[in-house]
Amino acid sequence: MAVVIGVDSSTQSTKAAVTDAATGRILAVGRAPHVVTGEHGARETDPDVWWWALRDAVANGLKEADIAPEAVTGIAVAGQQHGLVVLDADGRPLRPAALWNDTRSAPQAAALTEEFGGPDAWLARTGSVPVASLTATKWRWLREHEPARAVAAVRLPHDFLTERLCGQAVTDPGDASGTGWYSTATGAYDPEVLDLLGLRPELLPAVAATGGTRAGSLTARAAAALGLPEGIAVAAGTGDNMAAAVGLGLGGAGLLDHPVVSLGTSGTVFTATRTRPASRDLAGFAATDGTYLPLACTLNCTLAVDKVAALLGLDREDAEPGGGAVLLPYLDGERTPDLPHATGLLTGLRHATSGRQLLGAAYEGAVFTVLRALDALLLACGLDPDDPEIAARPLRLIGGGARGRTWVETVRRLSGRPVLLPESGELVALGAAALARAAATGLDPVAVATQWDTGRGTPLPAVPRDQVTWNRLAQVLDEATPALLT
């Protein structure tokens, strides 16, 4: 049996999915934790921790699968987006990597936006307006706060690991599009943005055609560290959201304009499309297969609702529809809509309002916010959310919330759309495995995932949309926005 290894190197851990190359069946998943440090907005990890975790996760996966290392034909890494890794001339990290959720560069994001001519100028070039998560803002912060560092190379987290595997400095269009210095309009690094940042292009990795492009071969040193055969295919890899899209079979060789809703600590919506979006409400990412992957993110999702449940002394599933109560759980401010200083808002209480209804109202507020972001995403792709043909396409519901009954039912009730619950909980690792298979064979990675049927799941039919609750939430948000902005 030939196998490939798909690696999901996330913020908190590494997972290595040992996957049957012919069928896409996951034989085992090895795991190893990461360490995140920092306070007062700082979130950092030593990049060497990712390498050690990759080594351990691969070893654990092979052991659990009881597969001989000689069966492995390829490996690919999908990593957390946006992190800034700076290396010395010997390829060693100069400092801990600033992660995607490091917010110290918020002032730099605002300054860069204005220096380049405002949001529309950024959208026209890169597809995204600078925010603190983007790598470009972290690079500006580093230059202002640690100017003495002699940086010889700049990498994203997944680039760093790919280079350790094959010795080649390579990234892909998908993860590169989250840096802020890659133009989705031209498919290359933007020289004017690099000049603005004071970032020399020779510090950056080459951009492969796709994440499934063969970046190189596993070096003798990496093979010895991982216990794998020297010379196997190493894919260019991609970012975690892009790999999840591949794992769902979304892209040029699969489904296009089929929306995904991810319910995690934050809520995320994205779709693979041929339309290059440019909207202030979205991150205008590229997909790893040459299409586009516009994405919108809300800050308050499962964690915020769990907080409300804890305050009420209720289990997270001990909820019912909110009745007349409205609870917008903007406990950490909000990103979509752009209300960074917002706090949670509760209105519509009556003597008859129960704790279960208050918890249900928190679910409704979080889901409403995610679904409004979804409508904005579809419109940016030139799609009418109310078009019957578009509305009939099932929402692919992923993330931790997709395993919760109340989350699923609230999405169904407020969207009025059919829902598909993918069978696999390892879509990022499966997408990476498809990239590894593509690198080893020259096949299209989305076609590989489609053949494997990695996006299969349980379909749930549409239920009538709760328009009354939707309209009530929309009215409260629209009326409260001026106050929430202050």
Annotation: binding site? 81-82
* Close Cβ partners of 186 (under 8 Å, ≥ 6 residues apart): none
Structure tokens at 439: 């690198």
Scanning 116-190, the segments in alpha helix (DSSP H) are 119-125, 135-145, 157-166, 173-176
Give which of 482, 478, 479, 466 is closest to 324, Cα–Cα: 466
Do 353 and 324 contact (CB within 8 A), yes or no?
yes
CA distance 152 to 129: 27
CA distance 78 to 81: 9
Q: Please enumerate, by residue number, every residue annotated as part of a binding site for substrate.
A: 81-82
Known active-site residue 386: no
Q: Exposure string (b/e) for 85-96, b if CB count within 10 Å is 16 or more?
A: bbbeeeeebbbb
CA distance 143 to 137: 10
> 240, 281, 289, 466: which is the annotated catalytic residue?
240
| Partners of residue 188 on adjacent β-strands | 183
CA distance 147 to 151: 10
Structure tokens at 48: 């060497």
Strand-pair category, 85-87 with 153-155:
antiparallel
Q: Catalogue the active-site residues.
A: 240
